[in-house]
Structure 1
Amino acid sequence: MPTDPPRRLIDPERVEAAVKGLGDRESVSRWADRFSVIADPSRLSLLVCIHYAGEICVSDLASAVGMSDTAVSQALRLLRAHGLVSAHRNGRVVYYRLTDATMHELIHHVRPHPVPE
């Protein structure tokens, strides 16, 4: 199989910085997987609501986003599997909270907390 011819670089220092910033391909793949999880509007809505609520139970979260409890539970299962949220039980009620610091920061950049009136 033929190899690609060498490329003429215009600015080798920028190429080196770009390659260092990119990191390993596995890391990029993990980030792409993570973004695919939050690319779904329903799951992203859940994450934003959990972020602003601090912690919230499934039925309240379902009411906030206009989804069924079952659909919310299924989405939360996926979000938990990706380490974005965690849950704790208080009696019969399970509360969810955002546990991923990067997601917390991302939500702050995309949708900052509203200023109190």
Structure 2
Amino acid sequence: MEPDRRLIDPERVAAAVAGLGDRAVIEEWAGRFAVVADPSRLALLVSIHYAREISVTDLAAATGMTDTAVSQALRLLRAHGLVTAHRDGRVVRYRLADATVHELIHRVRPHDTGAAEADPDR
């Protein structure tokens, strides 16, 4: 903060600065939000959320995308830490990476009564 800058409410400025924390974290989340801003990638995240774990082929069927498009999108989602993958025999299954992504999906796609039955975390 500039030392000679006039402040209206210094306590609020101090709280805002403290809330910002590490600027690198802000940059990281800005990148994550940019990735999520694509409707196809967001559809994949929502689908993964409800399925809990799902393969590329099943994601393609659920979203109406090709296997290739799903694979490319998942590579980007993994690179930004939004999903993780694990091998189950010959099949690779994807899941949401952390609780923050899970909460984000709850905000993006609020659960209705029918969806609550499909979401075991509800």
Given the two structures, how large is their TM-score scaled by the length of structure 1?
0.87
Counterpart CA distance in 2 for 1:32 and 1:83 is: 13
SS at match of 1:95: strand
Pair 1:46 & 2:44 matched: yes
Counterpart CA distance in 2 for 1:53 and 1:45 is: 12
Aligned residues: 114
Report deviation, 1:18.
0.7
Counterpart CA distance in 1 for 2:111 and 2:90 is: 30
Identity %: 75
What residue in structure 2 maps to residue 34 of structure 1?
A: 32
Could you say which structure has the larger radius of gyration? 1
RMSD, aligned CA:
1.8
Given the two structures, how large is their TM-score scaled by the length of structure 2?
0.84
Pair 1:89 & 2:87 matched: yes
Structure 1 segments of 4 or more deviating over 3 A? none
What residue in structure 2 maps to residue 109 of structure 1?
A: 107
Deviations 1:46-83 (A, max 9, x none): 00100011111111101111110000001111111222
SS at match of 2:113: coil
Counterpart CA distance in 2 for 1:92 and 1:114 is: 35
- Indicate how the Cα distance of structure 1 residues 55 and 12 shifts in structure 2: closer, same or farther if over 3 A, else same: same
SS at match of 1:89: strand
Contact 2:53–2:94, Cα closer than 8 Å, also in 1: yes
Residue ranges of structure 2 left out of the alignment (5+ in a row): 118-122
Residue ranges of structure 1 left out of the alignment (5+ in a row): none
Pair 1:10 & 2:4 matched: no
Counterpart CA distance in 1 for 2:83 and 2:112 is: 22
